């Protein structure tokens, strides 16, 4: 698989490059970063002490000339620019970017009619198995349990709640036959009144170098059930992204997520 990486000089970009360079069935074929980035023109694998013969580019045509896949964990505005180019040139996309609005998500769905895309706010295999556990739990805790989602990330994260926390909320709401937009509570301050039983609450923590912690609390009378996932490294996201690329090898078009990649959709 000839894979290019967007945001190549960032923390996640470097983790992806290392995973690709260490994979027997993948080859780093392109690297992108924003115009003016200090690393432009340098070898994409230089931080590993090795030579990849791939230079970090800001020009899409140059950076994606030899790519069959692009893995993108950047920002919505950058991903949407990459999306249009990839859809027009038959390059398959693995999108881990979060923070899209409804129009951005619609653009991704439209592009999936022209190329194959895996779009997931969290590529970790563990997180996506956790999503399945939450779906099962929600069905059994439909009555008599209050649901709260607590997430923590590093100080540099720019969107809140995290895409993973929102996906957890959507999974739970769907299992309960609700729409998250109708029941989500994103902040509490002052005299809030009693808790609405059907609501799903969110709490956000930002600090330090926390990679990503997510806990869903089902609080009933006399007992509490907590389902948690904690990331200690971004390597799980990189390995999940490679698994998503392998899933797309025989797909020409279509929009998929990690539940499809892991075969959890119908299980």
What is the DSSP code (8-state) at residue 42?
S
Task: Indicate the CATH number for domain 125-231.
Answer: 3.30.360.10
Domain with CATH 3.40.50.720 in the chain: 2-119+234-261
Over residues 70-115, the pLDDT tens digits come to 999 999 999 999 999 999 999 999 999 988 999 999 999 999 999 9
Please state whether the predicted TM-score (pTM) of the whole model is above 0.75: yes
pLDDT at 122: 86
Q: Which two tokens stand for residue 114?
A: 């022209």
Whole-angstrom distance, CA of residue 187 vs CA of residue 58 = 39
pLDDT digits 0-9 by tens, 3-27: 999 999 999 999 999 999 999 999 9
- Backbone φ, ψ for residue 183 (5° rounding): -125, -5
Burial class from Cβ neighbours inside 10 Å (0-12, 13-18, 19+) for residue 207 reads exposed
Phi–psi pair at 74, nearest 5 degrees: -105, -125
What's the pLDDT band for 266 if we cut at 50, 70, 90?
low
CATH number among 2.30.22.10, 3.40.50.460, 3.40.50.300, 3.40.50.720, domain 2-119+234-261: 3.40.50.720
Considering the chain, tell me which residue range(s) the CATH 3.30.360.10 domain(s) occupy.
125-231
Q: What is the pLDDT of residues 18-74, one digit of tens each?
A: 999 999 999 999 999 999 999 999 999 999 999 999 999 999 999 999 999 999 999
Alpha carbon of residue 247 to chain centroid: 16
Task: Name the residues annotated as catalytic.
Answer: 153, 157
């Amino acid at each position: 698989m000839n894979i290019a990486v967007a945001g190549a000089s960032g923390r996640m970009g470097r983790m992806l490059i290392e995973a690709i360079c260490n994979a027997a069935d993948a080859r780093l074929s392109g690297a992108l970063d924003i115009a003016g980035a200090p690393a432009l023109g340098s070898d994409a694998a230089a931080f590993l002490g090795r030579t990849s013969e791939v230079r970090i580019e800001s020009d899409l045509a140059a950076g994606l000339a030899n790519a069959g896949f692009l893995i993108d964990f950047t920002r919505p505005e950058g991903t949407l620019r990459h999306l249009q180019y990839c859809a027009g040139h038959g390059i398959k996309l693995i999108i881990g970017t979060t923070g899209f609005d409804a129009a951005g998500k619609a653009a991704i769905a439209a592009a999936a009619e022209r190329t194959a895309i895996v779009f997931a706010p969290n590529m970790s295999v563990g997180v996506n198995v956790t999503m399945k556990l939450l779906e099962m739990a929600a069905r059994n805790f439909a009555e008599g349990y209050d649901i709260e989602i607590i997430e923590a990330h590093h100080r540099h994260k720019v969107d809140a709640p995290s895409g993973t926390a929102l996906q957890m909320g959507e999974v739970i709401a769907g299992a309960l036959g609700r729409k998250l937009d109708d029941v989500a509570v994103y902040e509490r301050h002052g005299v809030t009144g009693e808790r609405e039983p059907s609501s799903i609450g969110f709490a956000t923590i930002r600090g330090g170098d926390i990679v990503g912690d997510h806990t869903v609390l089902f609080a009933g009378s006399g007992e509490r059930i907590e389902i948690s996932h904690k990331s200690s490294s971004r390597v799980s996201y990189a390995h999940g992204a490679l698994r998503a690329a392998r899933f797309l090898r025989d797909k020409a078009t279509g929009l998929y997520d990690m539940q499809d990649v892991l075969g959890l959709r119908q299980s």
